[in-house]
């Protein structure tokens, strides 16, 4: 019986890096570089230290897969969880707009770890990475934004399947066992959005759990474990079981349309702002008003956003106006607007407690009201508009209908390199950062182990 899982399995087993256009391969390497820079910066944050301590205790002594920036190694699946947390922990990692998910953050650490274990070349690593990104983004796009509406985090949920397909390729599985790998992953895939209610750290674990699920599923399939076949379209398959009534809105054809000719890797958006992608346009719009505002008294601020993002970054409004932790700050339209208006830019500095506890910033955030924009082209773009009504009657307004980093407004490869150096500088010296850039951009001529050990060199002492 032909199923979506068998179509994807056929694509995975026939996949050759030589068939990927040069510009897609180059962009993929820059996406990898972007992720590694974020991971290096993330080593300086308390949640990274805490997670490493817990995984170290679970793993016991030893381990053969380096942890980025720690100078230590963990067993494969623990290392995947940790390295994914480092890439995703600051919410600065890339996003696929139509899939409404982060593909790199699950696929890259899983394939880095597995390719290192298998003593694979950079050529194999790059192929598996692109394959995983293509599958993950397409499976996410098929849901048309529905997972967020019912409380599932598609990065963790869908990432398990993309990682299973990519791991199956690295392990050399045939098409039938690649189908089985996806079926097994169906029982592992997970990721709840409940963290939005209290700023808990759960979300940071989702991509690594997806990576370990994919590796585990593919390895079990390699040894003959039997998984279900109607993984995606079945009565209790992925979309029906997780979306309920919204499942009828799905378009499963999006998962395979143009497969191998249209490259979704090229449509992955690099983040210019270290926060949920849904707040970027409003953060940028407010930043554009910074000079014109110049500290004048404000009567009211209106932020207009796509209806599909309201639950995530606007509700409950009182909580969004007073973030009490990093996650709440990163998922708050009022806070993003206040930071942009005050400072003209939202950077990693906005994630410091001193920033989101600042009385002047919170005073501005308390004036922000959120409205759904019926004209927004979501999820193609994550647009936003900010309107500032001043006490003297003046109205300042700026709209960003297409967010920076979207396919039609991309962050250039040169910008990615600059972002990498800016992030890496928070934890490693410029010479070492330069070596990483060289290694990633010449990945096909390296081994996966060479890159893994280079990025595993210990960074500066982690801050609390």
420-452 confidence digits (pLDDT tens): 999 999 999 999 999 999 999 999 999 999 999
Which residues have CB under 8 Å from 118's CB, separation 6+?
124, 170, 171, 448
Task: Give residue 461's pLDDT.
Answer: 59
- The second-level CATH assignment, the architecture, of 277-400 is 2-Layer Sandwich (3.30)
Task: Give residue 2's pLDDT.
Answer: 86
Above 70 in pLDDT, residue 111? yes
Above 60 in pLDDT, residue 121? yes
Average pLDDT over residues 133-150: 96
Task: Give residue 458's pLDDT.
Answer: 87
221 vs 234: CA distance, rounded Å: 20
| Cα radius of gyration (the chain) | 21
14-28 confidence digits (pLDDT tens): 999 999 999 999 999
Q: State the span(s) of the chain assigned CATH 1.10.4100.10.
A: 4-271+442-454
Above 70 in pLDDT, residue 89? yes
Q: Which residues pair with 192 in a beta bridge?
A: 152
In the chain, what percentage of residues exceed pLDDT 70? 99
Phi and psi of 424, rounded to 5°? Answer: -65, -30
Both tokens assigned to 233: 């379209």
254 vs 251: CA distance, rounded Å: 6
- What fold does the segment set 4-271+442-454 form as a domain? 2-methylcitrate dehydratase PrpD (1.10.4100)
Both tokens assigned to 27: 């962009």
48-82 confidence digits (pLDDT tens): 999 999 999 999 988 999 999 999 999 999 999 99
Both tokens assigned to 393: 């009657």
Average pLDDT over residues 261-284: 95
pTM over the 0.75 mark: yes
pLDDT band at 142 (very low <50, low <70, confident <90, very high): very high
Phi and psi of 412, rounded to 5°? Answer: -70, 165
Task: Give residue 462's pLDDT.
Answer: 53
pLDDT band at 398 (very low <50, low <70, confident <90, very high): very high
323-366 confidence digits (pLDDT tens): 998 889 999 999 999 999 999 999 999 999 999 999 999 999 99
In the chain, what percentage of residues exceed pLDDT 90? 92
Task: Give residue 197's pLDDT.
Answer: 85
Side-chain-side CA neighbours of residue 320 (13 Å): 23
Phi and psi of 187, rounded to 5°? Answer: -85, -5
Q: What is the DSSP string of 26-80?
A: HHHHHHHHHHHHHHHHHTTSHHHHHHHHHHHHHH-S--SEEPTTTS-EE-HHHHH
Q: What is the DSSP string of 173-208?
A: --HHHHHHHHHHHTTT---B-THHHHT-SHHHHHHH
283-339 confidence digits (pLDDT tens): 999 999 999 999 999 999 999 999 999 999 999 999 999 999 888 999 999 999 999
Average pLDDT over residues 274-282: 94
Both tokens assigned to 284: 């940028």
Task: Give residue 277's pLDDT.
Answer: 87
Above 80 in pLDDT, residue 464? no
Q: State the span(s) of the chain assigned CATH 3.30.1330.120.
A: 277-400
Contact 368, 332 (CB under 8 A): no
């Amino acid at each position: 019986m032909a199923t979506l899982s068998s179509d994807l399995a056929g694509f995975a087993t026939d996949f050759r890096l030589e068939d990927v256009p040069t510009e897609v391969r180059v962009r993929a390497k820059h996406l990898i570089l972007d992720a590694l820079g974020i991971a290096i910066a993330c080593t300086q944050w308390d949640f990274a230290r805490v997670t490493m301590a817990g995984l170290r205790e679970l793993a016991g002594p030893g381990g053969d897969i380096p942890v980025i920036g720690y100078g230590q190694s963990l067993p494969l699946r623990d290392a995947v969880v940790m390295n994914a947390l480092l890439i995703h922990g600051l919410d600065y990692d890339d996003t696929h707009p139509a899939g409404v998910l982060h593909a790199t953050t699950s696929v890259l650490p899983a394939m880095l770890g597995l390719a290192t274990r298998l003593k694979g070349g950079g050529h194999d690593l790059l192929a598996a990475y692109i394959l995983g990104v293509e599958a993950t983004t397409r499976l996410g796009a098929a849901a048309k934004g529905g997972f967020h509406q019912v409380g599932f985090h598609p990065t963790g949920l869908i990432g398990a399947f993309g990682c299973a397909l990519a791991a199956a390729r690295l392990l050399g599985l045939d098409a039938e066992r690649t189908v089985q790998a996806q079926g097994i992953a169906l029982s592992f895939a997970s990721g709840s959005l409940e963290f939005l209610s209290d700023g808990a750290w759960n979300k940071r674990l989702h991509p690594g759990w997806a990576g370990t699920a994919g590796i585990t599923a593919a390895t079990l399939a390699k040894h003959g474990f039997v998984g279900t076949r109607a993984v995606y379209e079945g009565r209790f398959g992925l979309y029906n079981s997780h979306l309920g009534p919204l499942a009828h809105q799905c378009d499963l054809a999006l998962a395979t349309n143009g497969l191998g000719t249209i490259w979704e890797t090229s449509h992955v958006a690099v983040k210019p702002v270290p926060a949920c992608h849904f707040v970027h346009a409003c953060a940028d719009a407010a930043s554009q008003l910074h000079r014109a505002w110049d500290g004048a008294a404000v009567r009211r601020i209106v932020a207009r956003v796509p209806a599909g993002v309201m639950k995530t970054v606007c509700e409950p409004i009182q909580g969004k106006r007073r973030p009490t932790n990093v996650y709440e700050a990163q998922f708050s339209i009022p806070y993003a607007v206040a930071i942009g208006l005050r400072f003209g830019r939202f950077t990693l500095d906005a994630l410091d407690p001193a920033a989101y506890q600042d009385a002047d910033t919170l005073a501005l955030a308390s004036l922000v009201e959120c409205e759904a924009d019926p004209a927004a082209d979501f999820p193609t773009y994550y647009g936003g508009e900010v309107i500032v009504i001043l006490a003297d009657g003046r109205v300042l307004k700026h709209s960003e209908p297409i967010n920076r980093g979207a396919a039609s407004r991309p962050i250039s490869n040169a910008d990615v390199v600059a972002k990498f150096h800016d992030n890496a500088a928070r934890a490693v010296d410029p010479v070492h950062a330069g070596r990483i850039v060289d290694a990633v951009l010449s990945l096909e001529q390296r081994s996966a182990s060479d890159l893994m050990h280079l990025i595993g060199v210990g960074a500066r002492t982690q801050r609390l």
